[in-house]
Amino acid sequence: MEVGETKCSSGYSKPPWIFRGSALYQLHLVKAETARACIPKEFRLVEAFGYTLGGFFLASYDDSPAGIFDELVVIAGLVWNPPTSCAWAAKVLVNSNVACDHGRKEVGLPSQVARFSKRITAITSPPKSKDIGFLNMVGMGAAFCSPRDHMNVQVTEIKIHDTKDICNINLTSVVPTLDYNKWKGPAIKMSLPSYSGRTEYNPNLLKYSCQIECRVRAVQPAKVSCPTLILNNDRERPSEHGSCNSVDSTTGEHIDNGENLSLSVLLSKPILALEFSCLKMQVEAPTVVSTVSRNT
């Protein structure tokens, strides 16, 4: 922090806040009934044929106001509040107390502290296709090239006197070969408006924007698995040892009870995965869309 720069209540510098690192942004087809259970009643869900666009944003920041930390944002779906549509975060997990406190109090996010365990192993690469010239031009050819690394990210939510395994995210990343800049894909700039709030830490409804600069390329969607979950009301519980079944995001069933809505989003069908490298994300201070009376 520069001399004379002030901090907000969470210990962060004043907005806008700058985050640098890398991320995976994965879009899923999420059941509309699942998404509606996650969003405030004043919003209208953007849906078609019983589905909306949700998914997750898995980021690793190596430079931020909170230092180095990892983040998993579970996106329930797209909501419509004229004149624009925005993403709604059903759950945010970070492995930083400072980042968690800031997300709760300053941005209105449903942030929780979690542990991110990562394991990287090399895997056998398939034969390289001869017909990927165009894909290379648009930054997608690397998804069909070799060699490859396999990364497993296990996310465990940490609460007082308790921990809970949330999910395992299995990613296949390609090791760069010749032209590193082409491997990373084209450089883009975009703005991602989002709504937040309606939490115990910030009950007001908020709106904020993220200005993103990065290089982006399409990659193979990550497979998501979670601890064994039983779906029939309160009579049944997850297995005693929290073992994982082999259900992944390409075949997993939707989970409809309230406690597991975020897991239902993670296990829904993926349709697109984008890898962000050289990421610079600027988060503006949120504005209040509507307030909640302290008496309600």
pLDDT at 241: 29
Alpha carbons within 13 A on the beta-carbon side of 105: 11
CA distance 20 to 65: 10
Q: What is the pLDDT along the chain (296 residues), one digit of tens a residue?
A: 444 444 555 556 789 999 999 999 999 999 999 999 999 888 899 999 999 999 999 999 999 999 999 999 999 999 987 777 889 999 999 999 999 999 999 999 999 999 999 988 876 555 555 555 655 555 555 555 555 678 899 999 988 777 888 899 998 765 544 455 556 789 999 988 889 999 999 999 999 989 999 999 999 999 999 875 544 443 333 333 233 333 344 434 444 444 589 999 999 999 999 999 999 999 999 999 888 765 54
Residue with tokens 């109090």: 105
The answer to whether 198 touches 281, Cβ cutoff 8 Å, is no
What is the per-residue pLDDT for 248? 40
Q: What distance, in Å, lies between the first and last C-alpha atoms of the chain?
A: 39
Look at residue 63 in the predicted model and tell me its pLDDT: 96
AA identity, residue 174 = V
pLDDT of the residue at 80: 86
Element (H, E) at 136: helix 133-137
Query: Beta-strand (E) ranges in 160-291?
Result: 162-174, 187-197, 205-218, 223-225, 269-283, 287-290
The DSSP output letter for 242 is -
Q: How far is CA 279 from each of CA 116, 148, 212, 214, rounded to the nearest angstrom?
A: 20, 22, 7, 4
**8 Å CB contact between 171 and 224:** no
84-94 and 187-197 beta bridge pairing: parallel
Structure tokens of 296?
């309600």
Single pTM value for the model: 0.79
Farthest-apart Cα atoms in the chain, separation? 66
From residue 209, how far is each of 16, 17, 212, 268 by CA, in Å?
10, 11, 10, 26
